[in-house]
Amino acid sequence: MAKTKQRPFYGSVESVGIDEREPKVTIRSAVDKQSTRDFPFDVKADLFRVFESMRELNMPLIAYGDREQKAGEKQYLFDSGIPLRVTHLEQAEDRVWVRTGPEGFLLYVLLDNPEIQSIWERLVDSRDNGTDYWFILSPTIENNNGQTVRKIINVLGKLPTIPCTLGNRPAETFDKKHHKPIKVKKAEKLFTLMHSMSTHPSSGALVGIPFLYVDGGCEYRSHEMARHIIGEGAYPHKLWVFSSSLELETPNHPDCVAKWAWHTAPMVATTEGFYVIDPSVCDHAVPAADWYNRFSMSGQRHIYNTSHHVYRMNGSMCYFTSDPEFKNTERKLAIFRIRLRLQSAREGPPPFAHCPA
């Protein structure tokens, strides 16, 4: 993200409109509810529908201003709150270190933060109960012993979640009874169909599956793909990989590498073995072993489970839930579509030319 000179202003989207021929978005402060500010934006960025969708989702908008620009111009960078759940907390002398999943983000909040009491309560609730909260993060990327780190500015209201009702022991075996193997050519056609549903990174309707946003959301992309694969007459399972250090070199991330705590994608049984369908990682359907080999990881383990499971996390305990009506999945995909568009407005659309092909 480009460097900024002012503190961010963040809160809910109040309105989006035109003022003196200039498009603007009005943000109501999350800290001082009586305070609002107008922020102009470039009409070419196609952000009208993004901001309207954020207002409908009650998704926090962050405005950073202003970056280096031509004399006389006023320009802002926009980001959103990130829906995260905490997996680990560790208190240090002047801060609390926070680890989240599945993204594996390393964050910290300073103890002198004026909102520290409410932030701490929400961090603990997220860790203990698997609750997603909106995290407001500093745009500055820091380095801590070789790890990228970001500072927490605030943690806002929780997101609606579905209850963890299916127990805390994942299915460790692949159930072969319920489906008939398909031909590899059919798996390739399924991949092509999934890829055709990719959300456009910088223009058009906010629809589809945001494969090009790789900082999170794999479980929801996988669940939505499973729905479409079933509609095509195939029976997918989901393949998961967990690692203490899971990385993927990809041109779809501004840093050219995505870092996660886990990743998942649909898997189908073919007459030539198991194939994974994952447009975020591959450009075609690949054997499961080839999919694994795309990642750099240590201490990895993998499991299979059925297509109706959606992953949740509660501290160090793993839970699987179901979302049979896909309502929670669609809400989460909407959030990641918005984050893809905002990222493209700041950094340019992926794939990024400075990354290795």
Calpha distance 353→343 (Å, rounded): 15
Model confidence at 85, pLDDT cuts 50, 70, 90, reads confident
pTM for the full predicted model: 0.87
Q: Which of 37-41, 73-77, 163-167, 236-240 has the lowest mean pLDDT?
A: 163-167
Beta bridge partners of 15: 26
**Are 88 and 99 in contact, with CB atoms under 8 Å apart?**
yes
Q: How far apart are CA 352 and CA 40, in angstroms?
A: 26
**pLDDT-based confidence at 245, cuts 50/70/90?**
confident
26-35, 59-68, 121-130, 288-297: range with lowest mean pLDDT: 59-68
Q: Token pair 């309560």 is at which residue?
A: 121
**Mean local confidence (pLDDT), 32-48:** 89
- Say whether pLDDT at 4 is over 60: no
Lowest mean pLDDT among 271-275, 284-288, 327-331: 327-331
257 touches 248 (CB < 8 A) = yes
Could you state, in order of their start, the residue ranges of all structural domains in the chain?
A: 9-80, 83-158, 184-347
Q: What is the architecture, at CATH level 2, of domain 184-347?
A: Roll (3.10)
Cα–Cα distance for residue pair 112/99, rounded to 1 Å? 20
More confident residue, 352 or 171: 352
The confidence score (pLDDT) of residue 167 equals 41
Q: Helix, strand, coil: what percent of the chain each, to 5?
A: 25, 35, 40
Query: For residue 21, what pLDDT band results from cuts at 50, 70 and 90?
Result: confident
Q: What is the mean pLDDT of residues 87-106?
A: 88
**Rounded CA gap, 173 and 332, in Å?**
28
pLDDT of residue 110: 97
> What is the pLDDT, as a whole number, of residue 320?
59
Which pLDDT does position 306 carry in this prediction?
Answer: 61
Residue at token pair 């929400």: 122
Q: What pLDDT is stored for residue 323 in this prediction?
A: 74
Check residues 101 and 90 and name the one with the higher pLDDT. Answer: 90
Spatial neighbors of 30 by CB under 8 A, at least 6 apart, are 10, 11, 12, 60, 136, 154, 156
% of the chain surpassing 70 pLDDT: 82
Report how far residue 188's alpha carbon sits from residue 238's, in angstroms, rounded to the nearest whole number.
17
pLDDT of residue 303: 65
Give the pLDDT confidence score for residue 329 in this predicted structure. Answer: 87
**CA 100/CA 120 separation, integer angstroms:** 14
Write the CATH number of the domain with boundaries 83-158: 2.40.50
